[in-house]
Structure 1
């Protein structure tokens, strides 16, 4: 046989083997979704809606300047909770921590089992000045109209507080008793860092020797049209959250009159440094929680997409290239760079003697503050620009192989039976990280089905939740309590 024919045979054989292997990888990946086993919870729908509607009317607003906070509204909100959920307050141990933090302990029958915790927060962000008239319903009206409940906190995160308590009240009415200690922990300053709320609650519980199998906070939701190639809505459970750091770039030098500028002014040199950072960016890498997400959704994809993700050993560079094309997916696989503030100059005809810029960075798990600072310094390659970085690294990554994650996934499927429930990396911050020192795992999931447009409402204008979504949230909290309290297998 001639050499060129032999070469074709070898190439053809290798191609045939490649096709067989990759197709086999595609067809053999099994769904990671549990079969739904819904358990009917007889929620008093009218009462539940009234409770969330009323909760929204209390203006429990967190301000960065804490002196602006009206704690009278917080006091009234806490008194409202006592009136709204009498059985919870009568039958659970209730404690205020640091005056406005709330801890409920529902004592379990088996002291040998580690506790579980559900946490939310009842503070909300302010309504931006000048946007009040843009709301279709008042931001603190709690108005119920056309099947929706309106106002600040309907999604972030009074729905969590009221949903958990409504679920517990309903379960008490139906005679449920937990097998293990079940805690509800509600912070009051999550929107400004949680330092006086969740952080103090977690520290207090740690001092008492309380530890959790898992703590579940707000976070990902069931999102429509989230993953290309997946027709079903995808419910994402945060198993970690990115770190948040601030890098300040500053430069000093001679100023002078603007009629005689140097070729490179302080503003120009700093702008060049920022442009270098934006042009270079951190390297994308499909790993950790981002990779976990696709491991869970790949079996539900169309064949073509499933083929690509089932054979990451071949297509990973292509996958990463595609993910880097969109901001949301790029943030899933790399530390992000976002210049947000630039300070320089006071007068139009005077060169500034100093200039500074603030860059917000969201750190991937595994990226340290020191590594990020080194990357910035090496990228800008400008010794005259001083780099100072502060903030927090990413939270610990919680397990997807634990019974805790399986319980959350099962509970979500029981309520949203058509959804694909998967782990992911949360970009924003939450109180969940405060509980890392006392919990084996921390997870982040807001049990509502929403669109990408709804996500923008959380801190924006016209925040609302549908009544159906709210009732589903109550059902989910009941489901996760039941699932987590089932006897160990």
Structure 2
């Protein structure tokens, strides 16, 4: 009896100690959010609205088949910029790289310091054929109605181009002069990889010996209901972007008549391979940018969630289970698998001699193409299926403890004082990956507060932005240029 009491006392002591330690850890985590200095930027809203509205009307569409580009529209857009921002084009150095990529240089008072670069793109994705009638406003009308600006590019990413130029124009009119040089770089083929736009700008600047302190591109945004346990909107700043890999699985063998099939046909074996991959999945691992995100948002969480994330060493399995429960959060902590194309067969009563599947994978930083190939081959366990892997690995991970990141965070807080601004891992691709070559850090942030519905509209139907959110984006670009000057 005494032994049992002693065991219970020891166990109770351990439990009490555990509670004390974990509650202490929870109470000790401090906010990583800088105190906001509310922006006082005031400018002509009518002019700003008119400029974005007009910018949308130019059909600067990127096609996978570059022969479909209508470069007359791109020429007209460039002329529109020159006519709309005469002060910018008079006081800044301006040149066209590869005819259509735009490069502006604002010379600072101390050019010995590394410059800062802001970049966006003015090409847009096509409107899917057959969906035109689903738009409430013509996708290239630039209609201003109900407090919104409508059309392709209002979110992705003419808002960035126009927002930056509006901010530069404002600062020039205010007599502001940056200490370090500032570059503004606008690509024209980001939607298909940026090889002829951003990549050519990078090569040009590399030849000139330019190294940036940081480059800021589109990417993350201020998103509502993105992090469990956080009531405020969260501004996510991409410090890296996942790699994009295409895996091709193919098998060849005898076909034959469908009346006498083998137990395992070519289609069946490829389908089985895909099913194995979806059932297995890459393991989740809370590391890198995903871990950084939660270090920044944990202090702002409700107590229960804060308690869990403050004691990650004890609760990591619970955290992983929570994050793996939703596709958006699962993508933060693992390489993802998405079968996208299946090709097999031409006749309903003939077994195909070949079956092929294509899988798009988005790679976590640290995972290599070799890792992916090995994982697929070991998981499907079928020597007759040929696996080919091509693509790019994740970009480098930029600093979150540097003045560069903190200046972006401060600028965002100055405009969105109720937002929690944190680093994260960007799932999609951007032109920022090209600038890794010539920049100490690359960040990805579109300074607009958006919803999950807005995310779907970016490449979908009824793309639009509220006037208020667009004007806040301009204010952010003003603030970030001022912060960079500090």
Task: Give the TM bin, normalised by the shorter chain.
Answer: over 0.9
Secondary structure class of the residue paired with 2:440: strand
Q: In structure 2, what is the Cα distance between the partners aligned to 1:408 and 1:101? A: 25
Secondary structure class of the residue paired with 2:226: coil
- Offset, 1:242: 0.5
Q: Counterpart of 1:310?
A: 310
Q: Counterpart of 1:373?
A: 373
The CA RMSD over aligned residues, in Å, is 0.7
Secondary structure class of the residue paired with 2:8: helix
Q: In structure 1, what is the Cα distance between the partners aligned to 2:32 and 2:386? A: 49
> Which has the higher mean CA deviation after the structures are superposed, 319-328 or 378-387?
319-328
Q: In structure 1, what is the Cα distance between the partners aligned to 2:278 and 2:224? A: 30
> Which has the higher mean CA deviation after the structures are superposed, 4-13 or 250-259?
4-13
Secondary structure class of the residue paired with 2:332: coil
- Offset, 1:3: 1.6
Q: In structure 2, what is the Cα distance between the partners aligned to 1:46 and 1:119? A: 24
Q: In structure 1, what is the Cα distance between the partners aligned to 2:331 and 2:452? A: 16
Q: In structure 1, what is the Cα distance between the partners aligned to 2:142 and 2:400? A: 37
Q: Counterpart of 1:176?
A: 176
Q: In structure 2, what is the Cα distance between the partners aligned to 1:182 and 1:269? A: 55
Q: Counterpart of 2:350?
A: 350
After TM superposition, list the pairs within 5 Å mapping 1:123-138 onto structure 2.
123-138=123-138
After TM superposition, list the pairs within 5 Å mapping 1:89-488 onto structure 2.
89-486=89-486
Secondary structure class of the residue paired with 1:478: helix
Q: In structure 2, what is the Cα distance between the partners aligned to 1:187 and 1:450? A: 23
Q: Is residue 48 of structure 1 aligned with residue 52 of structure 2?
A: no
Q: In structure 2, what is the Cα distance between the partners aligned to 1:239 and 1:130? A: 37
Q: Counterpart of 1:71?
A: 71
Tell me, which stretches of 5 or more residues in structure 1 are unaligned?
none
- Offset, 1:39: 3.4
Q: Is residue 38 of structure 1 aligned with residue 38 of structure 2?
A: yes
Q: In structure 2, what is the Cα distance between the partners aligned to 1:39 and 1:256? A: 72
Q: Hey, which bits of structure 1, 4+ residues long, moved more than 2 A? A: none
> Which has the higher mean CA deviation after the structures are superposed, 7-16 or 114-123?
7-16
Q: In structure 2, what is the Cα distance between the partners aligned to 1:89 and 1:40? A: 25
Q: In structure 2, what is the Cα distance between the partners aligned to 1:301 and 1:349? A: 58
Q: In structure 2, what is the Cα distance between the partners aligned to 1:195 and 1:329? A: 30
- Offset, 1:5: 1.4
Which digits, 9 at most, give the CA deviation of each residue in 1:239-290, with x for residues without a partner? 0000000000000001111111111110111111111000000000111101
Tell me, which stretches of 5 or more residues in structure 2 are unaligned?
none
Q: In structure 1, what is the Cα distance between the partners aligned to 2:325 and 2:386? A: 31
- Offset, 1:54: 0.3
Task: Please report the TM-score for the alignment, with normalisation by the length of structure 1.
Answer: 0.99
- Offset, 1:325: 1.2
Secondary structure class of the residue paired with 1:440: coil
Q: In structure 1, what is the Cα distance between the partners aligned to 2:320 and 2:439? A: 33
Which digits, 9 at most, give the CA deviation of each residue in 1:44-68, with x for residues without a partner? 1000000000000000000000001
- Offset, 1:224: 1.1
Q: In structure 1, what is the Cα distance between the partners aligned to 2:143 and 2:325? A: 40
- Offset, 1:8: 1.1
- Offset, 1:203: 1.0
- Offset, 1:4: 1.3
